[in-house]
């Protein structure tokens, strides 16, 4: 076989894997919103789920002090950082992880991709799910097995769902992605649900990638990792983007049990040939974030209070207008179902979630993502909204001046999160 023929075969294989792949919907809606703002339009950014809160000053100062760090660090990450992360999981969740069994990468998204690249089994994804899980699997040619959820189950998978799928081929290697608090629904799993899911995963030797990037913004601070109940088969994924306000810093972590170091070894090898190591100044600054302290406790408590109040405000408004919405447990999102308005929407020639979101954006300036972006059929009138379009620094400062037991009320939200309140009211008026 000639070199030319071999090259052609590789090109064909690449084209098959990426054909039809478009820009990530969350990034696309952000770019569209920016363009419309530049055109002079008033846009309410309910599309991109970026933390509205600033990076804590202590972490910023640590980055400033580390700006001169210029050396390539270890592929798996700075040793002191990994030791600090190990202490964080011991302190916060009672989980014992060897600091050597961790991988620090340029964002948790990149590490998820590497895991799928080196693993050889099926990927199990709850439906709906975050927009990039399935496209990553498609890029590397991994089969995706969907686990459908529904509003009656609060968009969460059940142990019976997982059992039913695994029973079809009990020995097949699989990875289950479990994301909670969930994107796009804001829902989380209770302790009993996690225990039951862990039992099924253990029975069929399913590896669980537990995406806990929103764990610290669980409103009730009741987050529990499934690693507490299935330690030998769980990889925890987290990072600085959601709970530390540092999405653009691009630092993610994967934490492995001893039994899965073979996967860590494989991912480390690929990392050494791709991103080499994560930015040195960012890693040094991350030590401060994972060490925490009273300042971080105050920052997180304030963030949770504000997000919980906003979630309730949007939830109450939409349900009052007639939409079906499941109340959120954490994170930045709600996943309203507008099917109660089917007759009215069809009269306006709105027959799918894409047209629904496009029309709402045109009529009201409220930018949301359609349910189809999260894997659901486009004929379902579902959308995800992210209630993060406000000045998080100003809101935290105002909350800090209030009594410790005082919660953000309607007056607070109208003053410090006015675009969320206005967008909710505009959306409700449009529905009515």
pLDDT level of residue 36 (50, 70, 90 thresholds): confident
**Do 422 and 310 fall within a single domain?**
yes
Decide if 263 is inside a domain. Answer: yes
Above 60 in pLDDT, residue 15? no
Largest Cα–Cα distance in the chain?
Answer: 76
Mean pLDDT of 315-320: 97
Interatomic CA distance for residues 179 and 176, integer angstroms? 10
Q: What is the pLDDT of residue 17?
A: 52
- Domain membership of residue 89 as a residue range: 71-292
pLDDT level of residue 12 (50, 70, 90 thresholds): very low
Decide if 358 is inside a domain. Answer: yes
Mean pLDDT of 258-283: 97
Interatomic CA distance for residues 190 and 204, integer angstroms? 22
Q: What is the pLDDT of residue 30?
A: 66
**Do 341 and 426 fall within a single domain?**
yes
CATH number reported for the structural domain that contains residue 333 in this entry: 3.90.1150.10
Buried b (16+ CB within 10 A) or exposed e, 238-269: bbbbbbbbbbebbbbbbbbbeebeebbeebbe
Above 50 in pLDDT, residue 212? yes
**Do 388 and 409 fall within a single domain?**
yes
Q: Residues for the chain: how many in total? A: 432
Is 173 within 8 Å of 142 (Cβ atoms)? no
Decide if 63 is inside a domain. Answer: no
What are 145-199's pLDDT values in tens digits? 999 999 999 999 999 999 999 999 999 999 999 999 999 999 999 999 999 999 9
Above 70 in pLDDT, residue 13? no
pLDDT level of residue 33 (50, 70, 90 thresholds): confident
Looking up tokens 């990450």 gives 77
**Do 342 and 214 fall within a single domain?**
no
Mean pLDDT of 202-226: 97
CB atoms within 10 A of CB 8: 11
CA angle 76, 79, 84 (to 5 degrees): 110
pLDDT level of residue 14 (50, 70, 90 thresholds): very low
Looking up tokens 């309203």 gives 336
Last residue of a domain, one of 292, 323, 342: 292
pLDDT level of residue 44 (50, 70, 90 thresholds): very high
The contacts of residue 20 (CB under 8 Å, 6+ apart) are none
Q: What is the pLDDT of residue 32?
A: 74
The contacts of residue 133 (CB under 8 Å, 6+ apart) are 112, 123, 125, 177
User: What residues are paired with 124 via a beta bridge?
Assistant: 145, 176
Decide if 218 is inside a domain. Answer: yes
| 3-class secondary structure per residue, 204-243 | CCCEEEEECCCHHHECCCCCCCHHHCCHHHEEEEEECCCC
**Do 39 and 143 fall within a single domain?**
no
Q: What SS3 class is residue 146?
A: strand
Helix, strand and coil in the chain, % to nearest 5: 50, 10, 35
Q: Nearest-CA neighbor of 246 among 60, 40, 37, 18?
A: 60
Does the CA dihedral 270-274-279-280 come out positive or negative? positive
Average pLDDT, the chain: 92
CA angle 327, 31, 253 (to 5 degrees): 65
Question: Domain count of the chain?
Answer: 2
What are 89-132's pLDDT values in tens digits? 999 999 999 999 999 999 999 999 999 999 989 999 999 999 88
Q: Nearest-CA neighbor of 162 among 227, 206, 228?
A: 206
**Do 252 and 265 fall within a single domain?**
yes
**Do 260 and 132 fall within a single domain?**
yes
Q: What is the pLDDT of residue 19?
A: 53
Decide if 325 is inside a domain. Answer: yes
**Do 150 and 90 fall within a single domain?**
yes
CA dihedral angle for residue 18, residue 19, residue 20, residue 25, rounded to 10 degrees: 10
Q: What is the pLDDT of residue 29?
A: 66
Q: 6 or 138: which carries more pLDDT confidence?
A: 138
Structure tokens at 42: 């008033």
**Do 48 and 85 fall within a single domain?**
no
Last residue of a domain, one of 292, 321, 347: 292
Is 174 within 8 Å of 206 (Cβ atoms)? yes
Above 70 in pLDDT, residue 318? yes
User: What residues are paired with 244 via a beta bridge?
Assistant: none
Is 279 within 8 Å of 69 (Cβ atoms)? no
Above 50 in pLDDT, residue 7? no
Is 189 within 8 Å of 180 (Cβ atoms)? yes
Q: 35 or 58: which carries more pLDDT confidence?
A: 58
Mean pLDDT of 316-324: 97
Above 60 in pLDDT, residue 425? yes
What are 367-408's pLDDT values in tens digits? 999 999 999 998 999 999 999 999 999 999 999 999 988 999
Last residue of a domain, one of 241, 261, 292: 292
Decide if 368 is inside a domain. Answer: yes
What are 281-314's pLDDT values in tens digits? 999 999 999 999 999 999 999 999 999 999 999 9
Decide if 391 is inside a domain. Answer: yes
Above 80 in pLDDT, residue 254? yes
Name the percent of the chain lying above pLDDT 70: 93
CATH number reported for the structural domain that contains residue 208 in this entry: 3.40.640.10
pLDDT level of residue 4 (50, 70, 90 thresholds): very low
**Do 270 and 340 fall within a single domain?**
no
Decide if 393 is inside a domain. Answer: yes
Mean pLDDT of 232-255: 96
**Do 138 and 124 fall within a single domain?**
yes
**Do 235 and 349 fall within a single domain?**
no
What are 329-347's pLDDT values in tens digits? 999 999 999 999 999 999 9
| 3-class secondary structure per residue, 311-376 | HHHHHHHHHHHCCECCCCCECCEECCECHHHHHHHHHCCCCCHHHHHHHHHHHHCEECEEHHHHCC
């Amino acid at each position: 076989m000639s070199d030319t023929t071999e090259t052609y075969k590789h090109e064909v294989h690449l084209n098959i894997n990426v054909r039809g792949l478009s820009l990530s919907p969350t990034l696309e809606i952000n770019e569209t919103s920016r363009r419309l703002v530049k055109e002079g339009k008033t846009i309410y950014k309910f599309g991109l789920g970026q933390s509205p809160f600033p990076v804590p000053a202590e972490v910023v100062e640590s980055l400033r002090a580390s700006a001169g760090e210029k050396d390539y660090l270890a592929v798996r990450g700075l040793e002191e950082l990994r030791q600090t992360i190990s202490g964080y999981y011991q302190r916060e969740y009672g989980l014992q992880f060897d600091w050597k069994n961790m991988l620090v990468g340029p964002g948790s998204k990149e590490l998820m991709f590497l895991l799928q690249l080196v693993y050889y089994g099926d990927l199990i994804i709850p439906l709906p799910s975050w927009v990039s899980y399935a496209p990553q699997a498609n890029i590397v040619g991994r089969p995706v097995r969907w686990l459908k959820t529904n509003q009656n189950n609060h968009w969460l998978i059940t142990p019976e769902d997982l059992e039913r799928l695994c029973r079809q081929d009990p020995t097949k290697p699989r990875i289950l992605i479990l994301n909670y608090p969930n994107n796009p629904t804001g829902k989380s799993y209770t302790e009993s649900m996690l225990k039951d899911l862990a039992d099924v995963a253990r029975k069929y030797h399913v590896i669980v990638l537990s995406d806990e990037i929103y764990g610290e913004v669980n409103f009730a601070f009741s987050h529990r990792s499934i690693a507490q109940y299935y330690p030998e088969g769980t990889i925890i994924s987290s990072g600085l983007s959601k709970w530390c306000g540092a999405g653009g810093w691009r630092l993610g972590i994967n934490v492995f049990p001893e039994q899965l170091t073979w996967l860590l070894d494989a991912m480390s090898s690929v990392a050494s040939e791709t991103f080499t190591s994560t930015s040195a100044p960012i890693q040094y600054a991350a030590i401060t974030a994972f060490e925490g302290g009273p300042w971080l406790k105050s920052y997180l408590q304030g963030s949770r209070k504000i997000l919980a109040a906003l979630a309730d405000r949007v939830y109450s408004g939409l349900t009052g207008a007639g939409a079906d919405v499941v109340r959120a447990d954490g994170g930045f999102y709600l996943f309203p179902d507008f099917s109660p308005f089917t007759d009215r929407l069809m009269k306006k020639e709105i027959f799918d979630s894409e047209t629904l979101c496009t029309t709402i954006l045109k009529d009201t300036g409220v930018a949301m993502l359609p349910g189809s972006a999260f894997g659901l059929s486009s004929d379902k009138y579902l959308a995800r909204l992210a209630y993060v379009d406000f000045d998080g620094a100003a809101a935290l400062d105002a909350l800090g001046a209030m009594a410790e037991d005082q919660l953000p009320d309607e007056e607070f939200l109208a003053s410090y999160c006015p675009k969320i309140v206005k967008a909710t009211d505009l959306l409700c008026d449009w529905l009515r």
